[in-house]
Amino acid sequence: MRVPRSLEVWKMGTVNYLDALKLQEKLVSDRKTSKIADTVLSLQHPPTYTLGKRRTDHNLLIPESELKKIGAELCYTQRGGDITFHGPHQAILYPIISLRDIGIGARNYVEKLELTMIELAALYGVRAFAGQKGETGVWVGERKIGAIGVRISYGITSHGLAFNIDPDLSYFKHIVPCGIADKEVTSLRKETDSVLPTEEVIQGQLISCFARLFGYSNLIWKEKGSILSDNGEN
Amino acid sequence: MTMRDFRFFHSAAKLQKRLFREREREREREIMACSRLMWATRAASYLRISVPFTLRVRGFSSVLKDLKYADSHEWVKVDGISATIGITDHAKDHLGDVVYVELPEVGASISQGSSFGAVESVKATSDVYSPVSGKVIEVNEELNSSPGLINASPYENGWIIKVEMSDKDETNKLMGSDQYSKFCEEEDAKH
Protein backbone atom coordinates (compact mmCIF):
# COMPACT_ATOMS: atom_id res chain seq x y z
CA MET A 1 0.00 0.00 0.00
CA ARG A 2 3.04 2.24 -0.29
CA VAL A 3 2.59 5.29 -2.46
CA PRO A 4 5.70 5.75 -4.65
CA ARG A 5 7.68 8.54 -3.07
CA SER A 6 9.71 11.14 -4.90
CA LEU A 7 12.92 12.79 -3.82
CA GLU A 8 14.38 15.83 -5.50
CA VAL A 9 18.19 15.76 -5.46
CA TRP A 10 20.08 19.04 -5.81
CA LYS A 11 23.71 18.57 -6.90
CA MET A 12 25.34 21.78 -5.80
CA GLY A 13 29.14 21.55 -5.93
CA THR A 14 30.97 23.66 -3.33
CA VAL A 15 28.75 26.06 -1.39
CA ASN A 16 29.61 28.60 1.29
CA TYR A 17 28.24 27.39 4.66
CA LEU A 18 26.07 30.42 5.46
CA ASP A 19 24.62 30.48 1.94
CA ALA A 20 23.67 26.82 2.33
CA LEU A 21 22.12 27.59 5.72
CA LYS A 22 19.94 30.39 4.30
CA LEU A 23 18.89 28.15 1.44
CA GLN A 24 17.91 25.38 3.88
CA GLU A 25 15.81 27.80 5.94
CA LYS A 26 13.90 28.78 2.81
CA LEU A 27 13.46 25.17 1.73
CA VAL A 28 12.23 24.11 5.18
CA SER A 29 9.63 26.85 5.04
CA ASP A 30 8.60 25.75 1.52
CA ARG A 31 8.45 22.11 2.56
CA LYS A 32 6.32 22.98 5.57
CA THR A 33 3.71 24.58 3.30
CA SER A 34 4.09 21.70 0.80
CA LYS A 35 5.35 24.08 -1.88
CA ILE A 36 8.10 21.57 -2.54
CA ALA A 37 8.45 17.82 -2.14
CA ASP A 38 11.13 16.05 -0.07
CA THR A 39 14.49 17.40 -1.23
CA VAL A 40 18.11 16.57 -0.49
CA LEU A 41 21.04 18.89 -1.08
CA SER A 42 24.31 17.22 -2.08
CA LEU A 43 27.30 19.49 -1.71
CA GLN A 44 30.69 20.27 -0.16
CA HIS A 45 31.85 23.28 1.87
CA PRO A 46 35.01 25.34 1.90
CA PRO A 47 36.90 24.89 5.22
CA THR A 48 34.35 25.73 7.93
CA TYR A 49 34.05 24.91 11.62
CA THR A 50 30.48 24.80 12.89
CA LEU A 51 28.88 24.75 16.33
CA GLY A 52 25.47 23.41 17.32
CA LYS A 53 22.72 24.87 19.45
CA ARG A 54 24.63 24.19 22.67
CA ARG A 55 27.45 26.48 21.46
CA THR A 56 30.23 24.26 22.76
CA ASP A 57 32.97 26.65 21.68
CA HIS A 58 35.25 25.36 24.42
CA ASN A 59 35.87 22.51 21.96
CA LEU A 60 37.54 24.91 19.51
CA LEU A 61 41.20 24.64 20.47
CA ILE A 62 42.56 27.68 18.65
CA PRO A 63 41.44 31.30 19.01
CA GLU A 64 38.80 32.43 16.55
CA SER A 65 41.22 35.07 15.31
CA GLU A 66 43.57 32.30 14.09
CA LEU A 67 40.96 30.69 11.87
CA LYS A 68 41.44 33.07 8.98
CA LYS A 69 45.17 32.22 8.91
CA ILE A 70 44.34 28.57 8.29
CA GLY A 71 41.74 29.51 5.71
CA ALA A 72 38.68 28.56 7.72
CA GLU A 73 35.46 30.17 9.01
CA LEU A 74 33.38 29.58 12.13
CA CYS A 75 29.56 29.38 12.00
CA TYR A 76 26.99 29.05 14.75
CA THR A 77 23.90 26.98 13.98
CA GLN A 78 20.72 25.61 15.54
CA ARG A 79 21.49 21.99 14.72
CA GLY A 80 22.09 19.27 17.28
CA GLY A 81 25.55 17.97 17.97
CA ASP A 82 28.87 19.47 18.98
CA ILE A 83 31.64 21.19 17.04
CA THR A 84 32.71 19.78 13.71
CA PHE A 85 34.69 20.63 10.59
CA HIS A 86 33.48 20.67 7.00
CA GLY A 87 35.81 21.01 4.06
CA PRO A 88 36.64 19.97 0.52
CA HIS A 89 36.47 16.21 -0.22
CA GLN A 90 33.85 15.64 2.43
CA ALA A 91 30.47 14.56 1.03
CA ILE A 92 27.56 16.35 2.64
CA LEU A 93 23.85 15.60 2.42
CA TYR A 94 21.24 17.99 3.78
CA PRO A 95 17.85 16.24 3.53
CA ILE A 96 14.87 18.58 3.76
CA ILE A 97 12.18 15.98 4.36
CA SER A 98 8.97 15.66 6.31
CA LEU A 99 9.36 13.11 9.10
CA ARG A 100 5.67 13.39 9.94
CA ASP A 101 4.75 12.16 6.44
CA ILE A 102 6.72 8.98 7.05
CA GLY A 103 5.84 8.71 10.73
CA ILE A 104 9.35 8.57 12.17
CA GLY A 105 11.04 10.54 14.92
CA ALA A 106 14.51 11.95 15.51
CA ARG A 107 16.06 8.71 16.74
CA ASN A 108 14.89 6.59 13.82
CA TYR A 109 15.86 9.34 11.36
CA VAL A 110 19.37 9.61 12.72
CA GLU A 111 19.74 5.80 12.73
CA LYS A 112 18.87 5.78 9.04
CA LEU A 113 21.39 8.56 8.35
CA GLU A 114 24.00 6.43 10.11
CA LEU A 115 23.00 3.39 8.02
CA THR A 116 23.30 5.49 4.86
CA MET A 117 26.97 6.09 5.60
CA ILE A 118 27.57 2.55 6.82
CA GLU A 119 26.20 1.15 3.55
CA LEU A 120 28.31 3.54 1.49
CA ALA A 121 31.43 2.50 3.38
CA ALA A 122 30.51 -1.16 2.83
CA LEU A 123 30.62 -0.60 -0.94
CA TYR A 124 34.37 -0.11 -0.50
CA GLY A 125 34.82 -3.01 1.88
CA VAL A 126 34.98 -0.76 4.94
CA ARG A 127 33.20 -2.19 7.99
CA ALA A 128 31.70 0.84 9.68
CA PHE A 129 29.16 0.93 12.47
CA ALA A 130 26.96 3.36 14.35
CA GLY A 131 28.36 4.88 17.53
CA GLN A 132 27.50 3.75 21.03
CA LYS A 133 25.03 5.74 23.12
CA GLY A 134 25.96 9.40 23.16
CA GLU A 135 28.36 8.97 20.24
CA THR A 136 26.05 9.42 17.29
CA GLY A 137 27.92 9.10 14.05
CA VAL A 138 29.68 6.44 12.01
CA TRP A 139 32.89 4.79 13.14
CA VAL A 140 35.53 2.46 11.79
CA GLY A 141 37.04 0.93 14.89
CA GLU A 142 37.82 3.87 17.17
CA ARG A 143 37.98 6.34 14.30
CA LYS A 144 35.13 8.53 13.13
CA ILE A 145 34.37 8.56 9.42
CA GLY A 146 30.95 10.20 9.36
CA ALA A 147 29.25 12.88 11.43
CA ILE A 148 25.63 13.83 11.93
CA GLY A 149 23.94 17.02 13.13
CA VAL A 150 20.28 17.63 12.51
CA ARG A 151 17.57 20.16 13.13
CA ILE A 152 13.87 19.25 13.14
CA SER A 153 11.34 22.04 12.90
CA TYR A 154 7.60 21.32 12.44
CA GLY A 155 8.68 17.80 11.57
CA ILE A 156 10.89 19.02 8.70
CA THR A 157 14.59 18.17 8.77
CA SER A 158 17.56 20.35 7.92
CA HIS A 159 21.33 19.98 8.24
CA GLY A 160 22.21 16.28 7.98
CA LEU A 161 25.32 14.19 7.49
CA ALA A 162 28.97 14.62 6.51
CA PHE A 163 31.00 11.69 5.22
CA ASN A 164 34.80 11.94 4.97
CA ILE A 165 35.89 10.84 1.51
CA ASP A 166 39.36 12.38 1.63
CA PRO A 167 39.32 15.72 3.48
CA ASP A 168 42.44 17.30 4.97
CA LEU A 169 42.28 15.65 8.38
CA SER A 170 44.77 18.09 9.93
CA TYR A 171 41.91 20.61 10.26
CA PHE A 172 40.37 18.30 12.87
CA LYS A 173 43.39 18.81 15.12
CA HIS A 174 42.11 22.29 16.01
CA ILE A 175 38.92 20.97 17.61
CA VAL A 176 37.71 18.24 19.92
CA PRO A 177 35.59 16.66 17.15
CA CYS A 178 31.98 16.27 18.25
CA GLY A 179 33.16 16.87 21.82
CA ILE A 180 34.64 13.39 22.05
CA ALA A 181 38.27 13.57 23.13
CA ASP A 182 40.86 10.84 22.38
CA LYS A 183 39.10 9.58 19.32
CA GLU A 184 40.58 10.04 15.86
CA VAL A 185 38.91 11.13 12.69
CA THR A 186 39.40 9.10 9.53
CA SER A 187 38.35 9.02 5.91
CA LEU A 188 37.36 6.55 3.22
CA ARG A 189 40.72 7.08 1.56
CA LYS A 190 42.54 6.06 4.74
CA GLU A 191 40.36 3.05 5.46
CA THR A 192 40.20 1.34 2.09
CA ASP A 193 42.74 -0.04 -0.35
CA SER A 194 40.22 0.17 -3.18
CA VAL A 195 40.84 2.61 -5.95
CA LEU A 196 38.29 5.34 -5.34
CA PRO A 197 36.20 6.61 -8.26
CA THR A 198 35.57 10.34 -8.66
CA GLU A 199 33.89 12.15 -5.78
CA GLU A 200 30.87 12.76 -7.98
CA VAL A 201 30.40 9.00 -8.25
CA ILE A 202 30.81 8.51 -4.48
CA GLN A 203 28.34 11.30 -3.73
CA GLY A 204 25.91 9.70 -6.17
CA GLN A 205 26.28 6.38 -4.33
CA LEU A 206 25.67 8.14 -1.00
CA ILE A 207 22.43 9.58 -2.37
CA SER A 208 21.36 6.16 -3.68
CA CYS A 209 21.96 4.58 -0.26
CA PHE A 210 19.94 7.39 1.34
CA ALA A 211 17.08 7.03 -1.14
CA ARG A 212 16.91 3.27 -0.70
CA LEU A 213 16.92 3.42 3.10
CA PHE A 214 14.22 6.04 3.18
CA GLY A 215 12.05 4.29 0.59
CA TYR A 216 12.20 6.83 -2.22
CA SER A 217 11.50 5.08 -5.48
CA ASN A 218 11.61 8.10 -7.75
CA LEU A 219 14.65 10.41 -7.83
CA ILE A 220 14.62 13.71 -9.67
CA TRP A 221 18.17 14.94 -10.22
CA LYS A 222 18.79 18.67 -10.54
CA GLU A 223 22.08 20.40 -11.25
CA LYS A 224 21.94 23.43 -8.99
CA GLY A 225 25.49 24.72 -9.23
CA SER A 226 24.35 28.31 -9.79
CA ILE A 227 21.22 28.27 -7.57
CA LEU A 228 22.45 30.96 -5.24
CA SER A 229 22.54 33.52 -8.05
CA ASP A 230 19.27 32.23 -9.44
CA ASN A 231 16.48 33.48 -7.16
CA GLY A 232 13.54 32.93 -9.44
CA GLU A 233 13.95 29.22 -9.69
CA ASN A 234 12.23 26.76 -7.39
CA MET B 1 35.41 -7.12 -12.71
CA THR B 2 38.56 -8.54 -11.11
CA MET B 3 38.54 -11.26 -8.47
CA ARG B 4 39.45 -8.62 -5.88
CA ASP B 5 36.53 -6.41 -6.88
CA PHE B 6 34.24 -9.40 -6.74
CA ARG B 7 35.40 -10.24 -3.20
CA PHE B 8 34.82 -6.65 -2.04
CA PHE B 9 31.35 -6.45 -3.53
CA HIS B 10 30.51 -9.91 -2.22
CA SER B 11 31.49 -9.00 1.35
CA ALA B 12 29.67 -5.65 1.07
CA ALA B 13 26.54 -7.51 -0.03
CA LYS B 14 26.96 -10.01 2.82
CA LEU B 15 27.28 -7.15 5.30
CA GLN B 16 24.14 -5.50 3.94
CA LYS B 17 22.20 -8.74 4.21
CA ARG B 18 23.39 -9.20 7.78
CA LEU B 19 22.34 -5.67 8.69
CA PHE B 20 18.94 -6.32 7.13
CA ARG B 21 18.48 -9.63 9.01
CA GLU B 22 19.51 -7.98 12.28
CA ARG B 23 16.95 -5.22 11.75
CA GLU B 24 14.26 -7.81 10.97
CA ARG B 25 15.07 -9.78 14.14
CA GLU B 26 14.99 -6.55 16.18
CA ARG B 27 11.58 -5.73 14.72
CA GLU B 28 10.29 -9.24 15.57
CA ARG B 29 11.50 -8.84 19.16
CA GLU B 30 9.71 -5.51 19.37
CA ILE B 31 6.45 -7.00 18.11
CA MET B 32 6.65 -9.83 20.69
CA ALA B 33 7.32 -7.30 23.43
CA CYS B 34 4.41 -5.20 22.16
CA SER B 35 1.82 -7.91 22.60
CA ARG B 36 3.04 -8.78 26.10
CA LEU B 37 3.02 -5.17 27.21
CA MET B 38 -0.12 -4.05 25.43
CA TRP B 39 -2.59 -5.15 28.11
CA ALA B 40 -0.31 -3.71 30.81
CA THR B 41 -0.15 -0.32 29.05
CA ARG B 42 -3.86 -0.07 28.48
CA ALA B 43 -4.66 -1.09 32.03
CA ALA B 44 -2.05 1.25 33.48
CA SER B 45 -3.13 4.26 31.45
CA TYR B 46 -6.77 3.68 32.32
CA LEU B 47 -5.89 3.49 35.98
CA ARG B 48 -3.68 6.59 35.56
CA ILE B 49 -0.63 4.82 36.83
CA SER B 50 2.70 6.13 35.64
CA VAL B 51 4.14 3.28 33.61
CA PRO B 52 7.76 2.31 34.25
CA PHE B 53 10.71 2.38 31.91
CA THR B 54 9.86 -0.94 30.21
CA LEU B 55 7.71 0.93 27.72
CA ARG B 56 10.33 1.49 25.07
CA VAL B 57 8.15 -0.03 22.42
CA ARG B 58 6.78 2.25 19.72
CA GLY B 59 3.06 2.59 19.38
CA PHE B 60 2.38 1.43 22.92
CA SER B 61 3.76 4.34 24.89
CA SER B 62 1.87 5.41 27.98
CA VAL B 63 -0.88 8.01 27.65
CA LEU B 64 -2.49 9.56 30.72
CA LYS B 65 -6.24 9.99 30.86
CA ASP B 66 -6.58 13.41 32.44
CA LEU B 67 -4.26 15.26 30.04
CA LYS B 68 -4.83 16.90 26.68
CA TYR B 69 -2.55 16.30 23.71
CA ALA B 70 -1.29 18.15 20.64
CA ASP B 71 -0.51 16.40 17.36
CA SER B 72 3.09 17.53 17.79
CA HIS B 73 3.23 15.23 20.86
CA GLU B 74 3.13 17.71 23.73
CA TRP B 75 0.77 17.19 26.67
CA VAL B 76 -0.94 19.82 28.78
CA LYS B 77 -2.40 19.53 32.28
CA VAL B 78 -4.93 22.24 33.01
CA ASP B 79 -5.49 23.55 36.52
CA GLY B 80 -7.74 26.62 36.52
CA ILE B 81 -6.05 29.10 34.19
CA SER B 82 -2.67 27.51 34.74
CA ALA B 83 -1.33 24.90 32.33
CA THR B 84 1.67 22.59 32.78
CA ILE B 85 3.28 21.44 29.54
CA GLY B 86 5.67 18.67 28.61
CA ILE B 87 6.29 16.11 25.90
CA THR B 88 4.66 12.69 25.81
CA ASP B 89 6.06 9.22 26.32
CA HIS B 90 5.63 8.60 22.59
CA ALA B 91 7.64 11.74 21.81
CA LYS B 92 10.52 10.88 24.08
CA ASP B 93 10.65 7.29 22.77
CA HIS B 94 11.03 8.68 19.28
CA LEU B 95 13.65 11.20 20.37
CA GLY B 96 16.06 8.99 22.26
CA ASP B 97 18.00 10.22 25.30
CA VAL B 98 17.53 13.97 25.79
CA VAL B 99 20.86 15.68 26.48
CA TYR B 100 19.84 19.34 26.37
CA VAL B 101 16.67 21.40 26.79
CA GLU B 102 16.34 24.97 25.55
CA LEU B 103 13.88 26.74 27.83
CA PRO B 104 12.03 30.02 27.21
CA GLU B 105 12.36 33.04 29.49
CA VAL B 106 9.82 33.41 32.28
CA GLY B 107 7.40 36.10 31.17
CA ALA B 108 7.63 35.22 27.48
CA SER B 109 4.41 35.16 25.46
CA ILE B 110 3.63 32.03 23.55
CA SER B 111 0.82 31.06 21.21
CA GLN B 112 -0.86 27.77 20.47
CA GLY B 113 1.07 25.77 17.91
CA SER B 114 4.20 27.91 17.97
CA SER B 115 7.61 26.84 19.19
CA PHE B 116 8.64 27.75 22.74
CA GLY B 117 11.90 25.84 22.98
CA ALA B 118 13.77 22.79 21.84
CA VAL B 119 15.22 19.50 23.03
CA GLU B 120 18.39 17.82 21.78
CA SER B 121 18.91 14.07 21.49
CA VAL B 122 21.07 11.89 19.21
CA LYS B 123 22.63 15.02 17.67
CA ALA B 124 19.19 16.28 16.61
CA THR B 125 17.50 19.41 17.94
CA SER B 126 13.72 19.13 17.83
CA ASP B 127 11.51 22.14 18.40
CA VAL B 128 8.73 21.83 20.97
CA TYR B 129 5.39 23.54 20.45
CA SER B 130 2.92 24.99 22.90
CA PRO B 131 -0.55 23.39 23.02
CA VAL B 132 -1.97 26.65 24.44
CA SER B 133 -1.45 30.42 24.26
CA GLY B 134 -0.46 32.54 27.22
CA LYS B 135 2.46 33.76 29.33
CA VAL B 136 5.24 31.56 30.67
CA ILE B 137 5.08 31.75 34.48
CA GLU B 138 7.56 29.04 35.39
CA VAL B 139 10.18 26.86 33.68
CA ASN B 140 11.61 23.60 34.98
CA GLU B 141 15.16 24.70 35.84
CA GLU B 142 16.01 21.10 36.85
CA LEU B 143 16.16 20.29 33.14
CA ASN B 144 19.29 22.43 32.77
CA SER B 145 21.30 20.02 34.90
CA SER B 146 19.17 16.90 34.37
CA PRO B 147 17.70 16.89 30.85
CA GLY B 148 17.21 13.13 31.23
CA LEU B 149 14.23 13.83 33.49
CA ILE B 150 12.23 14.07 30.29
CA ASN B 151 13.08 10.45 29.49
CA ALA B 152 12.72 9.17 33.07
CA SER B 153 9.47 10.97 33.90
CA PRO B 154 7.90 12.74 30.90
CA TYR B 155 4.57 13.43 32.64
CA GLU B 156 5.82 14.27 36.16
CA ASN B 157 9.33 15.48 36.97
CA GLY B 158 10.10 16.05 33.27
CA TRP B 159 7.50 18.85 32.88
CA ILE B 160 8.96 21.72 30.84
CA ILE B 161 6.99 24.94 31.37
CA LYS B 162 3.97 26.34 33.20
CA VAL B 163 1.77 28.83 31.40
CA GLU B 164 -0.94 31.24 32.47
CA MET B 165 -3.47 30.63 29.69
CA SER B 166 -4.96 33.52 27.79
CA ASP B 167 -7.84 31.47 26.36
CA LYS B 168 -8.99 28.34 28.17
CA ASP B 169 -11.23 27.34 25.24
CA GLU B 170 -8.16 26.61 23.15
CA THR B 171 -7.91 23.24 24.89
CA ASN B 172 -11.03 22.18 22.97
CA LYS B 173 -8.85 21.99 19.87
CA LEU B 174 -6.60 19.40 21.54
CA MET B 175 -6.96 15.60 21.65
CA GLY B 176 -8.08 13.52 24.60
CA SER B 177 -6.14 10.43 25.65
CA ASP B 178 -8.02 7.91 23.49
CA GLN B 179 -7.86 10.09 20.42
CA TYR B 180 -4.14 10.71 21.01
CA SER B 181 -3.42 6.98 21.45
CA LYS B 182 -5.10 6.29 18.14
CA PHE B 183 -3.20 9.16 16.52
CA CYS B 184 0.11 7.66 17.68
CA GLU B 185 -0.78 4.21 16.35
CA GLU B 186 -1.71 5.66 12.96
CA GLU B 187 1.50 7.65 12.81
CA ASP B 188 3.63 4.61 13.66
CA ALA B 189 1.83 2.53 11.06
CA LYS B 190 3.07 4.85 8.33
CA HIS B 191 6.41 3.10 8.10
Does residue A108 sit at the B interface (CB-CB below 8 Å)?
yes
Distance from CA of A12 to the nearest CA of B (A): 24
ipTM over 0.90: no
pLDDT band at A16 (very low <50, low <70, confident <90, very high): very high
A6-230 has CATH 3.40.50.620 classification: no
Q: Alpha-carbon Rg of chain B, whole angstroms?
A: 20
Mutation to test the B interface, candidates A24, A114, A153, A216, most B Cβ within 10 Å: A153
CB distance B132 to B105 below 8 Å: no
Q: Is the pLDDT of residue A201 over 70?
A: yes
pLDDT grade, residue A227 (50/70/90)? low
Confidence at residue A1, expressed as pLDDT on a 0 to 100 scale: 52
pLDDT tens figures, B37-90: 555 555 555 555 544 433 333 445 788 889 999 999 999 999 999 999 999 999
For residue B141, give the 3-state DSSP assignment: coil
Kindly list the catalytic residues of A.
178
- What is the least distance, in Å, from the CA of B75 to any CA of chain A? 16
As annotated, the binding site of A for substrate includes 79-86, 147-149, 160-162
Q: pLDDT band at residue B105, thresholds of 50, 70 and 90?
A: very high
Q: Residue A107 and residue B94: Cβ atoms within 8 Å?
A: yes
Q: Alpha helix locations (H) across chain A?
A: 17-32, 64-67, 99-102, 106-123, 188-191, 199-213
Give the domain ranges of chain B.
1-51, 57-190
Q: What residues of B are in contact with residue A104 (Cβ under 8 Å)?
A: 94, 190-191
Per-residue pLDDT of A157-169, as tens digits, reads 999 999 999 999 9
CB of A165 within 8 A of CB of A199?
A: yes
CATH top-level class of B57-190: mainly beta
pTM of structure: 0.83
